[in-house]
């Protein structure tokens, strides 16, 4: 399962693509499988894997509340979270942003970061396209998100990075390809073996260079 979360997975003009999407596809090929990656709204994708008998989801932030709900298969990236506003935004710093309208992806665990810091106006949206539309339209002061995901979404939606400005930072996490706790151990080992083969032949490095540099 995947959400529309560039640069890890998204529906491009020529079909699905992204670092984690291509990685999952190559792993399946190594196993002689035709396992497909299915896109869902992010909150639903996470819930389906958490409650399901099998299956995987990516990119999944490894957080304390999720630690015992998933099997953490493959580390994809370490990411820092930032508040991004329009380039002309005058509200800067955590203290000032606490009372501002902050947009965040629905179902993301980083909402808890905002709650812990007593942010009072948290607005959730189904994807980054909606968040960027709301920011550009003045409905948000800032978007709170992982820098790689939001930067990729800015470019894919036809905006210039120069139109936006980082206003503050808060928190960080490791992003994983996670799988259901109910997945059989033999199946987990097969996927790990496929990943190790892709590391050895340079495929993982090439995907990293293509999508994450």
Q: What is the DSSP letter of 2?
A: B
Q: Mind listing the pLDDT tens digit for each residue in 158-180?
A: 999 999 999 999 999 999 999 99
DSSP string, 27-39: HHHHTT--PPP-B
pLDDT digits over 65-114, tens only? 899 999 999 999 999 999 999 999 999 999 999 999 999 998 888 999 99
* Alpha-carbon gap, residue 106 to 85, rounded angstroms: 18
Which among 82, 93, 89, 56 has a CA at the least distance from the CA of 71? 56
How many angstroms separate the CA atoms of 28 and 105, rounded? 29
Identify the DSSP state of 154: H
Q: How far apart are CA 105 and CA 29, in angstroms?
A: 31
Contact in structure between 201 and 140 (CB atoms under 8 Å): no
What does the mean pLDDT of the chain come to? 93
Residue owning tokens 């979404």: 153
The model carries a pTM of 0.81
Sign of the torsion angle spanned by Cα atoms 141, 105, 159, 117: positive
The model's pLDDT over 105-144, given as tens digits with 9 standing for 90+, comes to 988 889 999 999 999 999 999 889 999 999 999 999 999 9
């Amino acid at each position: 399962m995947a959400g529309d979360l560039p640069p890890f997975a998204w529906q491009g003009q020529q079909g699905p693509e992204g670092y984690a999407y291509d990685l999952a596809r190559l792993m399946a090929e190594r196993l002689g499988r035709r396992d497909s990656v299915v896109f869902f709204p992010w909150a639903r994708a996470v819930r389906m894997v958490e409650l399901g008998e099998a299956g995987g989801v990516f990119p999944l932030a490894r957080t304390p509340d999720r630690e015992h709900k998933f099997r953490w298969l493959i580390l994809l990236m370490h990411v820092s979270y930032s508040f991004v506003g329009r380039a002309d935004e005058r509200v800067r710093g955590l203290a000032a942003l606490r009372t501002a309208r902050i947009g965040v992806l629905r179902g993301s665990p980083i909402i808890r970061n905002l709650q812990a810091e007593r942010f009072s106006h948290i607005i959730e949206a189904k994807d980054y396209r909606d968040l960027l539309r709301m920011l550009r339209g003045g409905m948000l002061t800032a978007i709170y998100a992982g820098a790689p995901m939001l930067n990729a979404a800015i470019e894919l939606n036809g905006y210039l990075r120069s139109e936006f400005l980082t206003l503050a930072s808060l928190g960080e996490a490791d992003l994983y390809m996670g799988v259901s706790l109910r997945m059989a151990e033999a199946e987990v080992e097969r996927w790990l073996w496929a990943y190790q083969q892709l590391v050895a032949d340079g495929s993982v490095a090439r995907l990293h260079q293509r999508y994450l540099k």
